[in-house]
Structure 1
Amino acid sequence: MFLVLGWVWLWPGDGVGALRVGVVVVGGGPVGLLAACELAAFGVGVLVVEVRGSASGRPRATTLHARSVQSLVRRGYLGGLAGVGAGAGGGNGGFHFAGMPGLKISVPVGEPVAVLKCEQEVLERSLEERARAAGVVVLRGHRVSGVGEVAGGVRVSAVGPGGRAVEWVAEYVVGADGARGVVRELAGFDSRSYPATVSAMAGDVRLEVAGDLVAGWHRTPRGWVVVKDVAGGGVRLRTLNCEGASGVRGVPLSLAEFREEVSWIVGRKVGMGSPRWLSRFSDFSRLAGCYRKGRVLLAGDAAHVHFPIGGQGLSTGVLDALNLGWKLALTARGRAGEGLLDTYDRERRPAAQRVIDHTRAQLELMRPAAELDPLRALFGELLAGAPEGGVLASMVSGQDTVLPPRGADSSPLEGSFLPNVPLMTGEGRTDVIGLLARGRPLLLLFGAGAGVGAGGYEARARGWAGLLRVVRAEPVASVPYEAVLVRPDGYVGWAAGGGGLAPALRAYFGEGGDAGAADAL
């Protein structure tokens, strides 16, 4: 006997009252909810377990960089938030590097904005609404207390309101429960850590003297104060004290301590009151030794933590979820190629390491020591003279990410992100964004004669017809290939001239021949 709860199939299991679930996602922030949405889009039953009773109203991440925006829009997210076609050679341009202005981030024509400012709470609520509409069960107010593999699955224990204990046995578990989450430790993941060397604080307050601190990034001989005006006449302040790591951890930050820190860094008394929220943080960094242990996987801050200079944390987690979602969904449904799920670690962990490395490098430039002035001056000149979309801009925005090829004979296009080129198909004008919105892998055939015949591309792909969408389009000068396989996350999985199509399809989607097994897309 079973109970259908949304799209999650639950039934008593193991004789001890455990409930069976397709995938349990621990963590109801943007990364966890996005992973849940992607899984549900492929018809996988998903349960999200979150300790918070509701979406957090505290300001958290506010920046989504170009590659995460591009990827989200390709999957049909961010409706109304990110305009397409704003990237006519410059995007929205101004950003910073190590607190220095002048970083010009551009995107190709036809792509969404280069930098999207969006409060994490807004994104989280939007994703939760979409997840629930797709049949995801979001269970709030439950704290996970145990994670361990059992025969054929993973047992997840949690404590709900009033101390009520509940257990599930899932096929897979995704730990997206943040930097202080429990899944990483409970499942026994190893990590490499970089100890804290600085202390930092943040908070929304009201200045006693309006305009006492001007909006912007301000370096002093003692550190940094970053000032941003917020609605209602208040300011959002962030401090960086480079004297060393704070010995205080886990203790709530008081207004008096925050006021003293700001005043010390600025070098004069700064009066403030009416705090809306206050917090402390540091440059402590950590990277999980792997992103998968059997049936447990990590994503977002649960897998990687770094100093938040550059606003790359949310973007990195979003790209984790988009990379993992379709791979885990196909694996759970028995439609994945052997080893597909392991490519999640190989593709996303190096990207996180790179973010950790260059945020640590930016922090070194921010240290107020006078001997670093020539280096800062050099970087200032490089920023001023760099073209839009230069090396630093591509790195910060994630647009320089190229995935490792499957083999030595892979096409040069494989592993790159396919730009949003306009396309003319038999159904009319469209573009890459429009074709990927449903989340299905896409085989683009350019030209009426591309791979025609019994041994052509269309014939070779027929065994995957229930999953793969095949679209014929007129040739495009910027994509000089007869055929291109585009993964659901927007990256090129194969292109003509890089080995056979059928081996590539098997590597991603397993053995073909089951054209009737259409996915719920």
Structure 2
Amino acid sequence: MPLNSPDGAGTLDADVIVVGAGPAGLMLAGELRLGGARVIVTERLERPTGQSRGLGFTARAMEVFDQRGLLPRFGDPETSPMGHFGGVQFDYTVLDGAHFGARGIPQSQTEAVLEEWATELGADIRRGWEFVELAEGFLDGDEVEITVRTPDGVQRLRAAYLVGCDGGQSAVRKAAGFDFPGTPATRAMFLADVVGCDLRPRFLGERLPHGMVMAAPLGEGVDRIIVCPDGTPARERDQELTFAEIADAWQHITGEDIHDGDAEWVSSFTDATRQASEYRRGRVLLVGDAAHIHLPAGGQGLSTGVQDAANLGWKLADVVRGGAPEGLLDSYHAERHPVGARLLMNTRAQGTVFLGGEEADPLRELFTELIAYDDVKRHLAGVVSGLDIRYDIAEATGDAHPLTGRRLGDRLLIGAAGETGTTELLHPARGVLLDLSDDPEIRRAAVCYLARVRITTAVPKPVDGEDPLSGASAVLVRPDGYVAWAGGPDDLAGLDRALRRWFGAPAS
């Protein structure tokens, strides 16, 4: 029986427990609630820190927020056509629909928007609740039990699934025994938001004989600085960091004295690069930094975590509601683990170009030459923006249409009720079957899925240039915006396979 059915509602504290109320955990909580799952989010911090390592998100993460109707909550996000790879600047719009992402949005704002949204949807967010222990049996049992430390003492919670969204030092990952291979940290780097320092902007960073520095004004007299001194070993996590140390490193690299300034907050990070060998062990799954850590480059960490959550949320909700078999969850690792591996590859490459010493000068020179070619720009823009992601969906369904496995970008459709956008159709986090030829056979093939798939009959509004919808009579889009099938009435068997694969058995 579905775990949140009237008969089973009292047996568990929630369908899913999410540990960690950062962007990935909050995004996942909202996705699960849209899918009808009961969710508890535990967060060890009693209140948000207000600190913001991230200052924006990529083009693909921006699309994810838009498909849930969240983008207006960020105001009017500014996007930049100009971005970089390893500090080498180029125009991302050489790739259709690409840009460097939303800029100037502090992570604290992203978290506030997502927490408000998840709470509105009914997620139970419990701050000051710290994950302590995972009970045995999560690999083979039909539930998970965790121990948490709360302001009122130790408590136990039970759910069908547990998801670790608790960052690079994930306690959930360690408790569940996930392997986390990779390369250890080789250097320490520092970050601070400073006031009273009168700094010259260095938006893309400046490579100097003793290291690299970046500086960018945040407004109201505050500057974000990043200091990457050469030869500074990684620090112990519990080792206290002071602004004086950061000012010393800044002066050593630049010759500029900023000791008279002050810091609103300071932090350190490293170039450690690791990825969990598997994203699921039994009833425990990992999302975001809990699954992969890397050198920060281009806001990709937060953005990849949000996309992890968007991929997993609807699948996990369908499973706990009884609408899909548990095997659907295996597609989360199959689809997102390669994306994480590619993220680690590109951030390590950027680190080599950006942070390497004199020995990396020939590489930087060659890279600068290569990036002048449009094909190279398109490739790198796709890698950093996430717009080049294509899931290997065809292998499971046999559908080899060029759209299958790719995200369907926002397209205007004209139907009986007027114009609507494909992004707007995805707001409820249900599947969408676009009937683009007003074909009753197409609609009839999906009628038993109306509880999980919205059928929309419309035609695409003409666009200039190449139209990816050209030649498709119908397109089945998953709740995360990726195309599960595209074709016509001559491939109704393929449509049926895709519906069963992603949405379970048809209703009677």
TM-score, length-scaled by structure 2: 0.90
Query: Which residue of the other structure, out of 439, 455, 462, is the alignment partner of 1:470?
Result: 455
Query: Which residue of the other structure, out of 142, 157, 160, is the alignment partner of 1:168?
Result: 157
Quote the residue 1:132 is aligned against.
Answer: 119
Matched residue SS, 1:471? strand
Matched, 1:433 2:423: yes
The CA deviation at 1:289 is 0.9
Q: State how far apart, in whole Å, the 2-side matches of 1:383 and 1:345 are.
A: 32
The percent of aligned pairs where both chains have the same amino acid is 36
Matched, 1:312 2:303: no
Q: State how far apart, in whole Å, the 2-side matches of 1:281 and 1:327 are.
A: 33
**Is the contact made by 1:105 and 1:388 (CA closer than 8 Å) also made in structure 2?**
no
Quote the residue 1:146 is aligned against.
Answer: 133
**Is the contact made by 2:95 and 2:381 (CA closer than 8 Å) also made in structure 1?**
no
Distance 1:139 1:248, change over 3 A: closer
Matched residue SS, 1:420? coil
Quote the residue 2:501 is aligned against.
Answer: 507
Distance 1:361 1:460, change over 3 A: same
Distance 1:36 1:268, change over 3 A: closer
**Is the contact made by 1:65 and 1:312 (CA closer than 8 Å) also made in structure 2?**
yes
Matched, 1:365 2:353: yes
**AA aligned opposite 1:57:** G
Quote the residue 1:23 is aligned against.
Answer: 16
Alignment of 1:271-310 (within 5 A): 271-310=259-298
Q: State how far apart, in whole Å, the 1-side matches of 2:142 and 2:300 are.
A: 36
Matched residue SS, 2:227? strand
Q: State how far apart, in whole Å, the 2-side matches of 1:332 and 1:417 are.
A: 25
Matched residue SS, 2:216? strand
Alignment of 1:327-476 (within 5 A): 327-337=315-325, 339-386=327-374, 390-407=378-395, 409-412=398-401, 413-448=403-438, 450=439, 452=440, 456-474=441-459
**AA aligned opposite 1:440:** R
Query: Which residue of the other structure, out of 128, 142, 145, is the alignment partner of 1:155?
Result: 145
The worse-fitting range, judged by mean Cα deviation, of 489-498 and 100-109 is 100-109
Distance 1:144 1:252, change over 3 A: same
Q: State how far apart, in whole Å, the 2-side matches of 1:198 and 1:21 are.
A: 42
Deviation string, structure 1 residues 481-517 (Cα, Å, up to 9, x no partner):
1111000111001111665211111111111024xxx
Matched, 1:322 2:322: no
Matched residue SS, 1:392? helix
Q: Note the aligned Cα RMSD (angstroms).
A: 2.5
Q: State how far apart, in whole Å, the 1-side matches of 2:19 and 2:370 are.
A: 43
The CA deviation at 1:308 is 0.3
Unpaired segments of 5 or more residues in structure 2?
A: 462-466
Aligned residue pairs: how many? 489
Matched residue SS, 2:275? strand
**AA aligned opposite 2:104:** K
**Is the contact made by 1:144 and 1:156 (CA closer than 8 Å) also made in structure 2?**
yes
The worse-fitting range, judged by mean Cα deviation, of 386-395 and 352-361 is 386-395
Distance 1:475 1:226, change over 3 A: closer
Matched residue SS, 1:504? helix
Q: State how far apart, in whole Å, the 2-side matches of 1:395 and 1:409 are.
A: 26
Q: State how far apart, in whole Å, the 2-side matches of 1:213 and 1:482 are.
A: 52
Deviation string, structure 1 residues 125-148 (Cα, Å, up to 9, x no partner):
111111111111110001111123
The CA deviation at 1:101 is 2.3
Quote the residue 1:519 is aligned against.
Answer: none
**AA aligned opposite 1:243:** G
Matched, 1:228 2:216: yes
Quote the residue 1:199 is aligned against.
Answer: 188
**AA aligned opposite 2:26:** L
**AA aligned opposite 1:132:** T
The worse-fitting range, judged by mean Cα deviation, of 370-379 and 59-68 is 370-379
The CA deviation at 1:286 is 1.2
**AA aligned opposite 2:24:** V
Matched, 1:45 2:11: no
